[in-house]
Amino acid sequence: MAGTVKRVLEAVIAARGHNNPTFMETTRAKLILKGLNPAKFTESTPDDPAQVAKARQVAAEFGVDVP
């Protein structure tokens, strides 16, 4: 299913951001520093197993439970 990385990253941003724009931008910056730029992934981006695993690992590091 395409777009899994995008959905995981958006879940991390929403969970960590708490609807506060400053926290959301800070979370995006942290994701970029970890090698996952949310702007580069779309709903139609093909799922690369390595990228999906990395996104799930980062979500776990941030304490966000994603399916």
Question: What is the full per-residue pLDDT of the chain (67 aa) written as tens digits?
Answer: 788 999 999 999 999 999 999 999 999 999 999 999 999 999 999 999 999 999 999 999 999 998 7
pLDDT digits (tens, 9 = 90+) for 12-21: 999 999 999 9
CA atoms within 13 A on the CB side of 20: 8
- Model-level pTM greater than 0.75? yes
